[in-house]
Structure formats: C-alpha cells, structure tokens
Amino acid sequence: VMKATLIALKKFPMFNASFDQENEQMVVKKFYNIGMAVDTKDGLIVPNIKDADRMSILELAKEISTVAKDTVDRKIGLSQLQNTTFSITNFGAANVAYGTPIINHPEVGILGIGKIEKKPVVINDELAIGYVLPLSLAVDHRVIDGADAGRFLNEIKSLLSDPMMLLLS
C-alpha cells in the first residue's frame, strides 16, 4: 500500500504537501517521508519512513517492519516523528473495515486502510467471491478538492489491483 501511495503521490504532487497557515499557501514537498500510524500501548504514534520513494518495495517492507518494531519498543528518535509529508493509517489491523482518518497537521491528506474481507464482487458480469480492501482518504479542502481526492484514490486502487505495477516502479 505504501508503494502504491508513493507512486500516486508522484502523479498527484499536491497530496505530498503541507499547508502554511501563516502565509495561507500550500507548500509542495520534493521529498517523500511517509508516516505510518503504529498502535502502541500508549496510543497511536506516527513515525515516518524517510525518503521512502528511493526504496524498492522489498526495502520498504523491511523498513516498515523495523520502524514499527522500534516504535512499539520506544526506540525511535524525534527525527522519525518530524517532517512527514503524507500519512497512512491501518484501522484494518484493529479488525475494522471502515474509518475516518484524521489529517496530521500540517499535512494535507491521510490514507486509511480497512480490514480485507471476502465479499461478493462482479467480475465479467458474473457474481464471484473476492477479497475487498476498503480505503478512505481525508484531505484538507483548503487545498485539495473532492475530484482530485477521487482521482488520487482511484490511482492507488488501480495500482493495488495490478501489483506488478508496484514492482516496475
């Protein structure tokens, strides 16, 4: 999911931004520090993967695992909590299908991932059972409108539907 999000962020750079309230302007970032909500005994903590766009999908997977473990063990540094450009939260890990993610200020968006479940789906006009991954997206409407949010989410959906695309990027 993080790799798909990174690809979508490069296609839609306004999501990899922050909002400067003092100057009332959006600041598009040229780096990709992806925040990931980690459930700890003291609540959610959102460290980030620095320069995540420079990592292969396998490097990302390893880094996600390391950062999550270090967060739970309280071994992350303050620098890993700063300069996040976009966040992802996984309420599916708490056995929840849908939720409304809350944007981490000053970011302008956050992706929510729900629980993967088997559901009836239509494939080639035939009813079948398939796995469905609920996604939700919260955006700061001062800088991102609903149409762009829909296109961004559809890009992630398209990438997740064709995992080979993640390996090519």
Is 141 part of the annotated catalytic residue set?
yes
What 3 state SS string does 42-86 have?
CEEECCEECCHHHCCHHHHHHHHHHHHHHHHCCCCCHHHHCCCCE
Residue in 141, 142, 151, 157 annotated catalytic: 141
Q: Which residues are catalytic?
A: 141
